Structure 1
Amino acid sequence: MKKLKVYSIITTIIVLFVLLQGSIVTKTGSGQGCGTTWPLCFGEVIPYNPTLETIIEYTHRLISSVAGLLVLILSYWSWRKLNFIKEIKFFAILASSAIIIQGLMGAGQVVFGQPPLIMALHFGFSAISLAAVFTITLFTFENPFNKAIVPVGRHFKRFVIAITIYAYTVIYTGAFVKHMGASTACTGFPLCNGEFVLFSQGTIVFAQMFHRLAGMLLTVLVIVFVLWILKLYKHQRLLVILSFVSVSLIFVQLLSGIGMVFTYNQNLTIGIIHALVISILFSLFTYIVVITRRIK
């Protein structure tokens, strides 16, 4: 079991790195760094005299391929070794399916080109893959006699499911904003170019403002989640710890989003943090859904 733990942690880190690389590819405009050929790069196995964009795209392809293989192995291994966890089959299948779909969509974007909505979904599948692998990794620290179970009320369970689904929606709106080039549609925060606008200034501004409002609502929901726990479930140590981690992540997410606005989306580090943190938050809530739905 120790080997599986180490392997799952390494796989999670690499999947997270792939997600980071994807953000860098988009941020630097390197999506066509290997032209329109896949899996070859400009028709070559190893590109000759590559540009920086080619290096970024080619490296992303290599690491993504490694990550895909690691996830498939992890799915099979965990399915065999963690059969005392009833949720393992679902997450093993989810991790494998998401990483395969993610890879195919990336290849499709290179060869055929894809509209922003589809490319946003590509990032969404990356987040699902990370969430599934992250949850499997946490499963490796359980045993038949020590499974993480957090008894909570029915309404709280539903709230956790709702906030998890909503967090994924926010991921999608953010990815859509990025891929349609709307990240710099508004200057200033919380207003857009000094105004509160949604519908009056076109699709790009609408997408930017809609994402802002969605992100701020998610912040409110996470705060409600934490306060709910502190009021009714403060005796549940694991839940309290996860709640404080979640509220820390959402504030980093909010501040990085504001930072992107005031730096006109020119700071690569802030953009990467913004993309990674929301994915980690979604992964965390995915695990919280599991442990709150378990029955002793």
Structure 2
Amino acid sequence: MHIHKLLKWLAVASTVGMLLILLGGALVTKTDSGMGCGRHWPGCNGQLIPDVITTEVLIEFSHRVVTGVVGILIVAFAVWAWRALGHVRETKFLSFLAIFFLVLQALIGAAQVKWGQGDFILALHFGISLISFAAVLLLTLLVFEVDRKFDTDKIRIGKTLKFHTIGVTLYSYVVIYTGALVRHTDSSLVCMDWPLCRNNEFSLPTNMYEWVQMGHRAAAGLIVIWIIIIAIHVFKNYKDQRAIYWGWMIALILVVSQATTGMFVVLTKLNLYIALLHSLFISMLFGLLCYMILLLSRSHMKNN
């Protein structure tokens, strides 16, 4: 089946745009620009387009504009994909997820501006946006897959890899949430050393902020170890299945990059560019893990 070229361009634009929404949201949080437009939404400081532009206003207002424009692209993409690829099993479900979680993250963002939210609720914002990004990414892969047909119809995954794939994907959301909690509770620099909190000497955290920071580090360390174990298993048993093999090798690169940038975020005392890379790597990793789940849902049983 031939897919219209414009749909492919729309798919790529929607995926890149959703990534920009994620990074824009992270930029708003990391620069404390959330109140750049005051308590006004969808307007900014009582105006449709603000005439007084500060750095905070520029960051917050730009994020809103990008979210609005990309939101229209994603709705158009999801509807078109539904109509063009409705016969593909995953299409309708992913189209619904993309739109539902896009609207949900926008509403949470608006509620924060209008009324304020607790840190533990705000930490969900990034994770909800990630689900929408993952759905858009998978829809995009489906669009290209229909023409190219990679080798994903011949996937065979054993019980061990199935367990690890589902487990690490669910667990990655815990890591994502704890990372968002670090930002929203202002716990980023409560521990100035790495990997341990103070003078690299082992001691239990003494307050909530240290618990949040060190809890995230422990969670991140565990996912690195877990994906290394998975990658070794895949290297030994799945070299003949390119999508599975290269998917997990890339996941290994991403999780190591994620941990490395996390370390440098602390050591450079919140360098903005490294912090944004940190958000980028976890977004890409989560999207890739969701794709591994999609392949898992199509697989036939394998012995190991």
Q: Which residue of 2 is the match for residue 277 of structure 1?
A: 281
In the alignment, does 2:159 pair up with 1:151? no
Q: Which residue of 2 is the match for residue 291 of structure 1?
A: 295
| Structure 1: 5+ residue stretches without partners | none
- CA apart distance, 1:116: 1.0
TM-score where L is the length of structure 2: 0.93
Give the secondary-structure state (helix, strand or coil) at the position aligned to 2:87: coil
In the alignment, does 2:256 pair up with 1:255? no
- CA apart distance, 1:263: 1.0
- CA apart distance, 1:295: 4.2
Contact 1:256 1:271 in 2 (8 A): yes
Give the secondary-structure state (helix, strand or coil) at the position aligned to 1:264: coil
CA RMSD of aligned residues (A): 1.4
Contact 2:220 2:259 in 1 (8 A): yes
In the alignment, does 2:41 pair up with 1:41? no
- CA apart distance, 1:144: 8.1
Check 1:145–1:205 CA distance in 2 against 1; reply closer, same or farther (3 A cut). closer
**Equivalent in 204, 210, 213 of residue 205 of structure 1:** 210
Q: Which residue of 2 is the match for residue 225 of structure 1?
A: 230
Shifted more, 268-277 versus 235-244: the winner is: 235-244
Q: Which residue of 2 is the match for residue 83 of structure 1?
A: 86
Contact 1:197 1:209 in 2 (8 A): no
1 CA distance for matches of 2:147 and 2:86? 9
**Equivalent in 234, 239, 248 of residue 243 of structure 1:** 248
2 CA distance for matches of 1:58 and 1:22? 11
2 CA distance for matches of 1:119 and 1:242? 31
1 CA distance for matches of 2:123 and 2:71? 19
In the alignment, does 2:53 pair up with 1:50? yes
5 Å-filtered alignment, 1:2-81, equals 2-81=5-84
5 Å-filtered alignment, 1:99-110, equals 99-110=102-113
Paired amino acid for 1:143: V
Q: Which residue of 2 is the match for residue 192 of structure 1?
A: 197
1 CA distance for matches of 2:217 and 2:245? 28
Paired amino acid for 2:213: Q
- CA apart distance, 1:236: 0.7
1:108-129 Cα distance to aligned partner (Å, 9 max, x none)? 0001111111111011111111
| Structure 2: 5+ residue stretches without partners | none
- CA apart distance, 1:218: 0.4
Give the secondary-structure state (helix, strand or coil) at the position aligned to 2:146: coil
1 CA distance for matches of 2:148 and 2:45? 54
1 CA distance for matches of 2:299 and 2:250? 24
Contact 1:171 1:278 in 2 (8 A): yes
1:67-109 Cα distance to aligned partner (Å, 9 max, x none)? 2111111111111111232011111111111100000000000
Give the secondary-structure state (helix, strand or coil) at the position aligned to 1:36: coil
- CA apart distance, 1:26: 0.8
**Equivalent in 158, 162, 165 of residue 160 of structure 1:** 165
| Aligned structure 1 segments of 4 or more residues deviating by more than 6 angstroms | none
Q: Which residue of 1 is the match for residue 219 of structure 2?
A: 214
Identity percentage of aligned residues? 39
- CA apart distance, 1:145: 8.8
2 CA distance for matches of 1:164 and 1:197? 30
- CA apart distance, 1:12: 0.5
Q: Which residue of 2 is the match for residue 119 of structure 1?
A: 122
- CA apart distance, 1:170: 0.6
- CA apart distance, 1:130: 0.9
- CA apart distance, 1:224: 1.1
Give the secondary-structure state (helix, strand or coil) at the position aligned to 2:156: coil
Give the secondary-structure state (helix, strand or coil) at the position aligned to 1:65: helix
Contact 2:157 2:299 in 1 (8 A): no
Paired amino acid for 1:207: V
Give the secondary-structure state (helix, strand or coil) at the position aligned to 1:152: strand
2 CA distance for matches of 1:76 and 1:183? 40
